[in-house]
Chain A
Amino acid sequence: ETGVTQTPRHLVMGMTNKKSLKCEQHLGHNAMYWYKQSAKKPLELMFVYNFKEQTENNSVPSRFSPECPNSSHLFLHLHTLQPEDSALYLCASSEGGQGNNYGYTFGSGTRLTVV
């Protein structure tokens, strides 16, 4: 385990379902991130939270909705997804602050399949 825990590990959902992905870290980090990893494509940044404030939304469709109730927890709420949203969703955390001079710690990801 890396110190960043993601649940569930695998998720299959229909296009009309609503589900949530959870990420938890107890590393004392202040910044948390959602990334999407699709086959043969670079990791795509989705959202950044720094000290619980959303600082980046990388043109993500509204069917993805993040929530960061505190510095240790991050959620990604999913509704009415499309098959092309099937991917590995990775959560990461870092020490945060201005600029990013620190390495991320990644979770193991949630493999999402939309049917």
Chain B
Amino acid sequence: EDKVVQSPLSLVVHEGDTVTLNCSYEVTNFRSLLWYKQEKKAPTFLFMLTSSGIEKKSGRLSSILDKKELFSILNITATQTGDSAVYLCAVTTSGTYKYIFGTGTRLKVLA
């Protein structure tokens, strides 16, 4: 059965800290891995990763995929209270339309 596992489930840090969120997966016919940020309701798209070893970066956020070890990490440097959210990881497979989501990591950044 296809599955996506995120860790940790929750995390509390102080402003300025750097955090690393993990996503591992076991799926058949992997196509891509995506990260989303969910603050209140609508998850918003962060990154899509398809190739191993190529870092994607957006401001203080960056992510990388390891297709050999079947995982991805999302790094957030110099965290701010506005980074507080649930971070969702999802994997897509070839020939289907659906995403397989992990349970998410709830990040709380304290001022």
The segment from B12-20, B54-62, B72-80, B93-101 found at the interface with A is B93-101
B48 within 8 A of A: yes
Are A107 and B42 touching (Cβ within 8 A)?
Answer: yes
Are A56 and B98 touching (Cβ within 8 A)?
Answer: yes
22 A-B pairs, CB-CB below 8 angstroms?
A: A4-B42, A42-B102, A43-B101, A48-B97, A50-B97, A90-B41, A94-B97, A96-B97, A99-B92, A99-B94, A99-B95, A99-B96, A100-B31, A100-B97, A101-B32, A103-B34, A104-B45, A104-B99, A105-B45, A106-B36, A108-B40, A109-B42
Residues of B within 8 A of A (CB-CB), count:
26
- Map CB proximity to B onto A69-88 as digits: 1 under 8 Å, 0 otherwise: 00000000000000000001
Beyond A2-B44, A94-B97, 12 additional pairs, beta carbon < 8 A = A4-B42, A31-B97, A40-B103, A43-B88, A48-B97, A58-B98, A100-B31, A100-B32, A100-B98, A100-B99, A103-B45, A106-B44
Are B48 and A103 touching (Cβ within 8 A)?
Answer: yes
Chain A residues near B (Cβ < 8 Å): 2, 4, 31, 33, 40-43, 45, 48, 50, 55-56, 58, 88, 90, 94, 96, 98-101, 103-109, 111
Chain B residues near A (Cβ < 8 Å): 4, 31-32, 34, 36, 40-45, 48, 88, 90, 92, 94-104
CA distance A94 to B32 in the complex (A): 15
Instruction: Take A106-B44, A107-B42 as given contacts and tell me if A33 and B97 are in contact as well, using a CB distance cutoff of 8 Å.
Output: yes
Instruction: Take A43-B88, A101-B32, A103-B48 as given contacts and tell me if A109 and B41 are in contact as well, using a CB distance cutoff of 8 Å.
Output: yes
CA distance A109 to B103 in the complex (A): 17
Are A99 and B31 touching (Cβ within 8 A)?
Answer: yes
Residues of A within 8 A of B48 (CB): 103
Give chain A nearest CB distance to B72 CB in angstroms.
15
Across the interface, name the chain B residue whose C-beta is closest to A1: B42
Best-buried of B43, B48, B94 by chain A (most CB within 10 Å): B43
